Amino acid sequence: MRSSSSTRLLVTLCLVGALTRGEVRQAWLNAKLKRPPHSFHKVLIVPVQVSLNAGGIKRGLPLLTQADELGEHLDSLLAFWLTKQGASVLPDSPRADSDSSERYALVQLQRAYDTLEVTMLRHAKDVRHGRFTLGEAVTVYPRAASADTLVFMRGSGTLYPRNVPGSAPWGAADQVFRGRLVFVDARTGEVLVFLDFSTFGSFWKGTASEIIPRIEECSARLPRPLGSILRNP
């Protein structure tokens, strides 16, 4: 009887551990950055784009407001985290009252990245060999001219809406977030760093502050510390 109880306890602890930990899926570094003095310091964060869908009885319903709020919070926290790593984070996306051509250039840049990411997700390890590049797509965005590297972040997740009958408040098997953080050379368009991670398994509460530690854990898997790459030459 005691043995059976111990076995159940062990299984329960294993399940809880599996549900709560973040997962590092992939962390790849372009070979040209593996050793000093190669680095980049001036960073421009391209506006974060994430999508969220509801789980439970409203499964698949887009959570547009929550996704917009999460993206804005990630923009802010990502800038703070990169600054702590040693980067100089440049002013971000154009405001609504900025030149329309600049806003259009940003849209084109985001589309070019999304197209490239489809291939990167299938062959991410080839980032090591400098296979992936945005090419001239980076040159059409005026703000890129002041940066050493552009930072793109994408992600998608599932949340159980609060106060909805039949929704799980936490611990639901599909309440997760998966994201990618990618650094691109602002002059050549070459992909320099690729991080692919998920956060907290089914206990993710939908906040940006839970995602940053997962990015940090993922970056720790790179063959060279990210802080060393981002330092001021």
Q: Which fold has domain 20-230?
A: Double Stranded RNA Binding Domain (3.30.160)
- Mean pLDDT across the chain: 83
pLDDT score for 167: 52
Block residue for tokens 């962390």 = 27
Block residue for tokens 């890129």 = 144
Query: How far is residue 86's CA from residue 60's CA, in Å, rounded to a whole number?
Result: 39
Average pLDDT rounded to a whole number, residues 9-28: 54
Q: For a pLDDT cut of 90, what percent of the chain falls above it?
A: 58
3-class state of residue 58 by DSSP: helix
Average pLDDT rounded to a whole number, residues 129-138: 95
pLDDT at 201 over 50: yes
pLDDT at 134 over 80: yes
pLDDT at 18 over 50: no
Average pLDDT rounded to a whole number, residues 172-182: 84
pLDDT score for 164: 45
Average pLDDT rounded to a whole number, residues 205-229: 92
pLDDT score for 173: 61
At 92, is the pLDDT very low, low, confident or very high (cuts 50, 70, 90)? confident
At 206, is the pLDDT very low, low, confident or very high (cuts 50, 70, 90)? confident
At 233, is the pLDDT very low, low, confident or very high (cuts 50, 70, 90)? low
Average pLDDT rounded to a whole number, residues 12-25: 49
pLDDT score for 17: 42
pLDDT at 145 over 70: yes
Average pLDDT rounded to a whole number, residues 40-65: 88
At 129, is the pLDDT very low, low, confident or very high (cuts 50, 70, 90)? very high
pLDDT at 128 over 50: yes
Q: Return the structure tokens found at 10.
A: 């062990």
Q: Which residue has the higher pLDDT, 152 or 159?
A: 152
Q: Which residue has the higher pLDDT, 20 or 89?
A: 89
CB contact burial 143-167 (16+ within 10 A = b; e otherwise): bbeebbbbbbbbbebbbbeeeeeeb
**Residue 183 main-chain phi, psi, to 5 deg:** -105, 130
What single-letter amino acid sits at 124?
A
